[in-house]
A and B are shown apart, each in its own frame.
Chain A
Amino acid sequence: MSANLTAVNTLRTTPIVDVKTETDTVKTFTVKDKLCAKAKPGQFLMLWIPGVDEIPLSVLNAGDGEVSVSVKAVGDATRHLHQMKTGEILGVRGPFGTSFTESRGRVLLVGGGTGTAPLLFLAKKLAVKADRLSFVIGARSKGELLFLNELDAVCTEQSVLATTEDGSYGLQCLATEPLEKLVDKEKFNIIYTCGPELMMRKVFDLTEKRKIAMEASLERLMRCGIGLCGSCVIGKYRVCRDGPVFTAAQLSEIKDEFGISRLGFDGSRIEL
């Protein structure tokens, strides 16, 4: 991200042009915004829910002057957002942060929960480049598996593997469980992951053992989004500026925190 873009990236208010219900708890919101329409997979934006809060969200889709984000209703801000309709006003800043590299070769994506959103965005870009595009998607139950049909459409045939914790769809296990076998069989060149941090840490540990390239998109409490306030620091890195996408080499420098702890609202350390 160029320094200059941050300097001019002021808050814009813009109407919601589309709201789509994805699952019982996830909706996708699309707004018009020329800058965010240039977002790359892995980048995020700060979404202002006027009078309520401003939250960081990974981009699901960008182009044609519009940008989409998928949001799970988990707290005050997101529940409020879920009540909003087409035509109502939101604020955006961004796109911010680093993006996934768009690698050729044999590619595996591992997504959990709404972490699937930026990976679907990436998968769409990779569909024409990668030799093989596989996806392991995990959720608590069938109703929470996000973008299953969309992933089937962009990934290599028969290569989307779903896992649920309650066994209501696909394999009954965590998304990380089938990975070791899959990785040994498919000889991937790179693994991209986004989702719960404990899941990403397991992916990292596996790729480190097998010496496979990997990139993960991290989440931390964010305030300014532009590298000033220090709320999102992990080791020597700022997730908003140096991330949110980190390479395996960077992750190995922050092993003491990645998948282990984060900073809370008061800056104290909280175990994951």
Chain B
Amino acid sequence: MNNNLLSVNIAGLKLASPAVLASGILGYSADSMQMVAESGAGAVVTKSVGVTPRMGYANPTVVQAKGGLINAVGLPNPGINDYVGEITYAKSILKVPLIVSVYGYSAEEYALAAKKAVEAGADAVELNVSCPHVKYTGSEIGANPKLLKDVVSKVKADVRKPVIVKLSPNVTDIVEIADVAAKAGADALTVINTVRALAIDVETTLPVLSNIRGGLSGPAIKPIALRCVYDISECVKTPIMGCGGITDWRDVVEFLLAGASAVQIGTAIATEKPDLFQTINRGVTDYLKKKGFGSVKELVGKSHRS
């Protein structure tokens, strides 16, 4: 959609729409990301890639809950050395920015994966310091201010492209964590990753997910995500990509009003129609025109009083 009303700049990335494909959704293959981009996404984020390959967990890895999905897929990925080929191919076909999500078990691993992703053509990297279901990485790093600071600073020192940090809501004070990431040099924050959750089946009396614990996504977590965005944007200047349960244009507008400059969408890819991004872009455009706004940028943080 060629539409100036919707275009935003975040962390140096020019997006034709503020709605971006979230990490973990379809983001292995360039061809699937291209399908989502063509349907109107402003950028795409890949699945998280680490230094070494990972198989992920046994099924069930996804279970439906009221108002959302709980997943513990377990970061399956072919490893950055294998994945650089897909990044290069993705760059050759995508017309929107490609953000490569990376994870690691140390600052060095994050930096190595990020460096190789950028060398292969990534327009930005997103640090997964918030996956709630893999030990010694993800939220175990993102919930620890010292580790988080080390990871973000190391990656910032090693790559010349924007570094986005995806935060976990599974912390006592997400604002404190956001502040650490910002001070360590994050160019943007993705707020939030999934909320740690559990599903139990009463017939078998067993937890459903093979990993037992997973992360809740979808409409059930939207109000939590919205609050996190609002709180962070009050205290931290770093631009925010809102994420969590966004399903329609109204959700997008709410996140922008709460203080996000862009948003990411994941779960709704499964629950809504394939033209989701297009429908959202049209809805946001109509809203802007109806309310007399000249750009989505005018909405950012507008709900904050004072």
State whether the Cβ of B1 lies closer than 8 Å to any Cβ in chain A. Answer: no
In the bound complex, CA of A74 to CA of B204 (Å): 24
State whether the Cβ of B61 lies closer than 8 Å to any Cβ in chain A. Answer: yes
| Contact size range, A | 35 or more
In the bound complex, CA of A91 to CA of B62 (Å): 13
The binding surface of chain B is classed by DSSP as loop
In the bound complex, CA of A14 to CA of B201 (Å): 11
State whether the Cβ of B26 lies closer than 8 Å to any Cβ in chain A. Answer: yes
Partner of B61, one of A50, A91, A223, A268: A223
Distance in angstroms from A6 CB to nearest chain B CB is 6
User: For A266, what are the chain B residues with a Cβ–Cβ distance below 8 Å?
Assistant: 53-56, 76-79
In the complex, are the beta carbons of A3 and B272 less than 8 A apart?
yes
In the complex, are the beta carbons of A230 and B32 less than 8 A apart?
yes
In the complex, are the beta carbons of B271 and A268 less than 8 A apart?
no
In the complex, are the beta carbons of A228 and B204 less than 8 A apart?
no
In the complex, are the beta carbons of A224 and B62 less than 8 A apart?
yes
Specify which of B24, B32, B79 lies most central, judged by the most chain A CB atoms within 10 Å of its CB: B32
User: For B184, what are the chain A residues with a Cβ–Cβ distance below 8 Å?
Assistant: none
In the bound complex, CA of A48 to CA of B64 (Å): 13
Residue on A nearest B57 in the bound complex, by CB: A223
User: For A10, what are the chain B residues with a Cβ–Cβ distance below 8 Å?
Assistant: 63-65
User: For A226, what are the chain B residues with a Cβ–Cβ distance below 8 Å?
Assistant: 62, 270
User: For B62, what are the chain A residues with a Cβ–Cβ distance below 8 Å?
Assistant: 223-226, 228-229
Partner of A55, one of B47, B59, B83: B59
In the bound complex, CA of A226 to CA of B54 (Å): 22
In the bound complex, CA of A122 to CA of B24 (Å): 35
Can you sample 26 A-B contacts with CB below 8 Å? Answer: A3-B273, A7-B271, A50-B204, A51-B204, A51-B206, A54-B60, A55-B59, A89-B204, A91-B60, A91-B208, A224-B61, A225-B62, A226-B62, A226-B270, A228-B25, A228-B69, A230-B27, A230-B32, A233-B26, A233-B28, A265-B56, A266-B53, A266-B55, A266-B76, A267-B77, A267-B83
7 additional A-B pairs beyond A10-B65, A223-B56, A266-B78, beta carbons within 8 Å, are A7-B271, A53-B58, A54-B59, A54-B60, A224-B62, A228-B267, A233-B32
Which residues does B use to contact A, with CB under 8 Å? Answer: 24-29, 31-32, 34-35, 47, 53-56, 58-65, 69, 71, 73, 76-79, 82-83, 201-204, 206, 208, 210, 266-267, 269-273
